[in-house]
A and B are shown apart, each in its own frame.
Chain A
Amino acid sequence: MKRSPAQTYNDIFKEKVGFEYLRNKLKLKNLEEEERLFNDFPKAKKNFERKKIRLKDIRAHSAKLLGAGILSGSFLLSTPSATKSLPEPHEIYNYLDLADAFKNLKVKNQILTDAFKKVLPDSVRPLSRDEEKVLEYVIKDVTGIPVKASLEGEHLNTAFGFIGAEQHLRRFPGDNITIHGEDKYKKSDLAPGLGAWGYFAKSKDEFTESLAENEKWYAVVQTLYLPDWNVRQPYLKNWYKYRKVMIINTENGNAVVCSIADSGPAAWTGKHYGGSPEVMDYLGGVRYKKGKVLVFFVDDPQNKIPLGPIKYGDILSMSNTTVHI
């Protein structure tokens, strides 16, 4: 039986109560846990009060401290063992090997991964400015694409972290998996909700080839944890929308130029970035669900560098001569 418009409020009510219920339940749980923490451990209460920090704000507090460390050029890790002694530029790789690689006599991926071993720490962590600069130099040398950890004053949460597999994003109203790219990627299915920037186009008619590429090669970065994300809006949201980044699998050197089209993943997933099914396939194969990667902004003011896998044979330039640290 067809319902009158007046009865459709039941559906809306049911949906909204779902989110509100969860939100309130979690808030209540957090209040209970905070009370338990401060009742059982009065020293904790005293220390938090003295520092004027609430546990709910600890991530933002950490972000501010780390951000300040990056800006001042110093890194704030207290453990000396956590940072490697960085090699001099001429020690990163033999330029004869690189020349051979350009003539396709050597595998460029190998040159890249060997260089990473000399610079990257064993476990993932935010990199120091010096480490980032060395890597920018190496990546540009080998791929020919200029990359930056900081671009126009913006810096990602971390340039070195774990990537996880994401689902396809809805590109326009009415989009569905049957019209979504190659068959081998359809089992990844569509994400239940929209990406952080909504639909790519308002309708199928307005959906362009360029927008299709943005979804196909999309990346997810943790913009929500940027220290100034909430205070510099809408500038940051616009700046990050479809911003090009290069993602490199540090294990095999496979690299893809991607477009940022969603925000996440949550900190408690153990991952720092996400990639579309196509991105993940190129980085490590169709079964690749999680791995260590480097993520740098692509410095492409004229929008000339295409999205998609880096073809190591098509080197644009080799203009690095010195590295300034």
Chain B
Amino acid sequence: MSKIFFDHLIELEDIKSYIDNAAENHEEKEDLWDLVDEYVNHKVLITILTNLDSEYHDEFLLMFLDKPYDTGIIEYLDDRLSCPLCELIVETKSKVNQELEEIFKIRFTKKALKKRKIDS
């Protein structure tokens, strides 16, 4: 089983195709997936802690570390944040998408993509 409570709020479909084109084999693909996953988790956690009153930090972190999959954490956060978590994450998702695209676009210019298509 694998689940983080905010998984369903994050969808980075565009990044998937960049990785599909960048990886030479499945192991490389999974390696990049994991790194993107770690990046997303950092960003979301920072967003939550930035917007959550510090008096709740310990409580939230304990809940997260004890049951990272528990979607009940969303209700807990929604009661304590100034706006619902799903709205906060929309903004984070957009920033993450933009930052990751910048990284992936450096490697894959149109010329390189064309070359890959011809080779295959």
Q: Do A and B come from one complex?
A: yes
A88 at the interface (CB under 8 A from B): no
B114 at the interface (CB under 8 A from A): no
| Binary CB contact string for chain A from 24 to 58 against chain B (1 if under 8 A, 0 otherwise) | 01110110011011001101100110010101101
Size class of B's contact patch?
Answer: 35 or more
By a CB distance below 8 angstroms, the chain B residues around A78 are 67, 70, 72
Cross-chain pair count, CB within 8 angstroms:
191
Q: Which of B4-37 contact A (CB under 8 A)?
A: 4, 7-8, 10-13, 15-16, 19-26, 28-37
By a CB distance below 8 angstroms, the chain A residues around B13 are 269-270
Contacting pair B107 A22 (CB below 8 A): yes
By a CB distance below 8 angstroms, the chain B residues around A51 are 65
Contacting pair B103 A34 (CB below 8 A): no
By beta carbon, the residue of chain A nearest B65 is A51
By a CB distance below 8 angstroms, the chain A residues around B75 are 79
Bound form: Cα–Cα A226–B1 in Å = 6
Contacting pair A266 B16 (CB below 8 A): yes
Contacts A26-B35, A263-B26, A266-B16 given; does A43 touch B42 at CB 8 Å: no
Contacts A51-B65, A193-B29 given; does A77 touch B39 at CB 8 Å: no
Among the stretches A118-126, A134-142, A280-288, A306-314, the one at the interface with B is A118-126
Contacting pair B38 A30 (CB below 8 A): yes
By beta carbon, the residue of chain A nearest B116 is A192
A222 at the interface (CB under 8 A from B): yes
Closest-CB distance, A21 to chain B (whole angstroms): 6
Closest-CB distance, B12 to chain A (whole angstroms): 5
A241 at the interface (CB under 8 A from B): no
| Binary CB contact string for chain B from 28 to 61 against chain A (1 if under 8 A, 0 otherwise) | 1111111111111111011001100010011001
Contacting pair A63 B28 (CB below 8 A): no
Contacting pair B69 A65 (CB below 8 A): yes
By a CB distance below 8 angstroms, the chain B residues around A195 are 26
Contacting pair B24 A19 (CB below 8 A): yes
Bound form: Cα–Cα A69–B67 in Å = 11
Bound form: Cα–Cα A36–B103 in Å = 19
By a CB distance below 8 angstroms, the chain B residues around A67 are 1
B3 at the interface (CB under 8 A from A): yes
Bound form: Cα–Cα A104–B46 in Å = 57
Contacting pair B41 A55 (CB below 8 A): yes
By beta carbon, the residue of chain B nearest A50 is B65
By a CB distance below 8 angstroms, the chain A residues around B39 are 26, 29-30, 33
